[in-house]
Structure 1
């Protein structure tokens, strides 16, 4: 895989996550200073799940995000391309399945809501994944993308980039079962879309009412959107409506 780009091979990414599965959750918590728990909780709140609804958690990893979403009382299914990650989450009382974000093993309009947390940038074709998520979401259903983004304050962004290039790999080398995976993750974070360009990608995939909210100064952004009334595609009624930025938190 190319460094500092989004070029990737799906099987290589899957193998990398299989090898990182053993200490993956602990490493993420250490590297984020415990903020990962807060980010997942904010994603659950943004999705506004209700008891009786169905939700799909794409790129669920070991099921930590699926478990957080299930606190809402909704029925949540997690799907991930890495068998190692899914196996690691087997101890949790969750419905976790192996599956590809580009070919989700579900019927059209099967879910009231769909989310992907920190996984979209690892998909070989993010636009196709967003269209596939729209396919399995009922008309008017919700999407939340919780993903690393770009800090909005220049001095903070400079410090953050130094951490990504230096501090994060050093910490991962001590605590991760696959330190090389975190060098890759650091590269993809730096190369990933900023908030407006990800919003544009969502609109191009057919999602409507797109907006975002920054978390932790823009280290992470929550993008929210609504499935089109007549199925995914480029001809949605309000496709040309600009994305709406919500207050930063």
Structure 2
């Protein structure tokens, strides 16, 4: 299996990322023309890690962002469901704790983390709303959620240019730079199918987060979404009832 498809079978997606782990960061830098570094800086500022805080970095890959968070004095857990990514991450960053974990079934207790972040990983989850609910669960009241993900440029001219780049030029770069260029066909397809900024914001609110907002990066090619787990117990209880109602509706449909 060289690539996953849009069914996003967890084993297939995990295996695909394991195969590209060693060259993953280099290929991303080339395909984004170095913008990946700017996106990491923006994410770091949004997470705002502080000494003594516990940060969960989901879909951490090789741990590049996790290591940056840890340099602030925060305790960082780097979680990923790809064994190959975790192996490469541990080799590069032995000072970071890596955990193999499915975002829809996080192996952590309730209210454990001051911040939870995921960069370019939510799009690869089979059931993203379940993953968002898990992120909500493991956050402390008042905790911060930061999601950095590919999105939809609001300007038509930007959307057109981005579409041309992804269809005509990105595959060539992937063939030259990646050990598994077919995996980057999945990248394009998954971006095309991913909801826009407003829809993702609604999903984040839907699991109970408040203070939900986003800002576009690189003309909306990427969007940085933020939210907070409410401190007020009554607000959290109301969110829990809404989640339970949606789960019942999904079971009955």
TM score, norm. by length of structure 2: 0.88
In 2, Cα distance between the equivalents of 1:78 and 1:49? 14
3-state DSSP of counterpart to 1:36: helix
Report the alpha carbon displacement of residue 173 of structure 1 after superposing the two structures with TM. Answer: 1.0
The alignment yields a C-alpha RMSD, in angstroms, of: 2.0
- 8 Å Cα contact 1:228-1:236 kept in structure 2: no
Match of 1:31 in 2: 31
Query: Which of the residues 158, 171, 175 maps onto 1:156?
Result: 158
Match of 1:243 in 2: none
Query: Which of the residues 182, 185, 193 maps onto 2:184?
Result: 182
3-state DSSP of counterpart to 2:188: helix
In 2, Cα distance between the equivalents of 1:31 and 1:220? 14
3-state DSSP of counterpart to 2:106: coil
Give CA-to-partner distance per residue, 1:119-169, whole Å, 9 cap, x none.
000000000000001110001100000001011111111010111122111
> Residues 94 and 232 of structure 1: is their aligned pair in 2 closer, same or farther, counting only changes over 3 Å?
farther
In 2, Cα distance between the equivalents of 1:110 and 1:175? 39
3-state DSSP of counterpart to 2:215: strand
Match of 1:214 in 2: 216
3-state DSSP of counterpart to 2:55: strand
Runs of 4+ in 1 over 2 A off after TM superposition: 228-237
3-state DSSP of counterpart to 1:7: coil
- The range that moved more, 79-88 or 65-74, is 65-74
Report the alpha carbon displacement of residue 89 of structure 1 after superposing the two structures with TM. Answer: 1.0
In 2, Cα distance between the equivalents of 1:98 and 1:157? 35
3-state DSSP of counterpart to 1:43: helix
In 2, Cα distance between the equivalents of 1:222 and 1:44? 11
- 8 Å Cα contact 2:6-2:186 kept in structure 1: no
Report the alpha carbon displacement of residue 232 of structure 1 after superposing the two structures with TM. Answer: 9.2
3-state DSSP of counterpart to 1:112: strand
Matches within 5 A, 1:132-151: 132-151=134-153
Runs of 5+ consecutive residues of structure 2 not aligned to the other structure? 243-253
> Residues 132 and 109 of structure 1: is their aligned pair in 2 closer, same or farther, counting only changes over 3 Å?
same
Report the alpha carbon displacement of residue 61 of structure 1 after superposing the two structures with TM. Answer: 0.6
Match of 2:7 in 1: 7
> Residues 139 and 35 of structure 1: is their aligned pair in 2 closer, same or farther, counting only changes over 3 Å?
same
Matches within 5 A, 1:1-249: 6-91=6-91, 92=93, 93-229=95-231, 230=233, 235-236=238-239
Runs of 5+ consecutive residues of structure 1 not aligned to the other structure? 240-249
> Residues 161 and 67 of structure 1: is their aligned pair in 2 closer, same or farther, counting only changes over 3 Å?
same
In 1, Cα distance between the equivalents of 2:205 and 2:125? 18
